[in-house]
Structure 1
Amino acid sequence: MYEIRHRIGIRAPMREVLSAVSTPEGISRWWSRDVRGIAADQFAVYFGGPKPSGVMRVDCDSHACTWTCLKGPAEWADTTIVFDLRRDGDETVVVFTHAGWREPVEFMHHCSTRWGQFLLSLKSTLEGGPSTRWPDDVAVSSWR
């Protein structure tokens, strides 16, 4: 199995970072404007279409949040997206992993770039700057 990995430091309390990656309201501030809770532990994310681009189950504890992809692109089937959090000085360090890719297809490379962009959006938003969530993000290719 293959995975995408990123690390970012955010000058915000851990509880705020955890809320931003575990609730539809928080996720809609940095990933997509249209994130809808569909169950106590699930959300759907939309990127402009009438159907969700992804449906995730959310499992969190005080130091990590894991999303399991229930619906989405075929390459995302059964993958997990993990936000491991820890304090380091005045930062909350986020170690991000999108794990379970069956092969390193071109779409995985595209998603790596996009996750990097959206993690910078998370950082900016929590540090009081502008959000670059979808659709305010930079399109990296015709795939968006």
Structure 2
Amino acid sequence: MLNIEHRNYIKVPASIVYEVLTSSKGLGEIWTKKLDVQAKEGYINIFDFDEGYLTKMKILRLEPNSTIVWECIASDEQWVGTGVSFELTEKDQITTVVLKHTNWRELTDFYQWCNYNWALFLQRLKIYCEKQHDF
């Protein structure tokens, strides 16, 4: 199994990053505006990227300001059965975000493309959080 892992540092408290990653407003600004999202364990978040299918992520775990864990239950076949997690730690109002996309079955072009796009996702998250909450 292969994993994608990225780390970024965002100059805002973890509570702000958590709110962006668990809300329709936040994810709509950094991922896709076509979505149905709730911050509730067991809920199935739905994302539409205009690719002819919906991406559905079941929320397995939410620990406020700390951990978000999703399981992909519908999407591109290479995503189904994979997990996405965000681990947040804060020190001196700087939040470290570790994003993991785990349980890829093989190294493919799509895996490499997604790896690149997760890095862009974290960059958009950083820019959005810091711009919206300038201290």
TM-score of the superposed pair, with normalisation by structure 2: 0.86
Report 1:31-42 matches (<5 A): 31-37=31-37, 40=40, 41-42=43-44
Deviation per CA, 1:92-135, whole angstroms, max 9, x where unpaired? Answer: 10011000101111111000001111110011000116xxxxxx
Q: Deviation above 4 Å: which 4+ runs of structure 1?
A: none
Match of 2:121 in 1: 118
Give % identity: 26
Q: Which whole-Å deviations, capped at 9, do the CAs of 1:61-112 have from their partners, x for residues lacking one?
A: 1311011101001111110001000013331100110001011111110000
Q: What is the correspondence of 1:1-144 to structure 2 with a 5 Å cutoff? A: 1-37=1-37, 40=40, 41-49=43-51, 51-52=53-54, 54-58=55-59, 59-62=61-64, 63-128=66-131
Is there any run of 5+ residues in structure 2 with no aligned partner, and where?
none
- In the alignment, the residues of structure 2 paired with residue 110 and residue 56 of structure 1 have an alpha-carbon distance, to the nearest angstrom, of 19
Change (3 A) 1:38 1:49: farther
Q: Are residues 37 and 89 of structure 1, via their aligned partners in 2, closer, same or farther at CA, if it must alter by over 3 Å?
A: closer
* Shift in Å, 1:48: 2.4
Question: May I ask how many residue pairs the two structures share in their alignment?
Answer: 128
> Are the counterparts in 2 of residues 25 and 35 from structure 1 also a CA contact under 8 Å?
no
Instruction: Mark the CA change 1:38 to 1:87 in structure 2 (over 3 Å): closer, same or farther.
Output: closer
Amino acid at match of 2:22: S
CA RMSD of aligned residues (A): 1.9
Any unmatched runs of 5+ in structure 1?
130-144
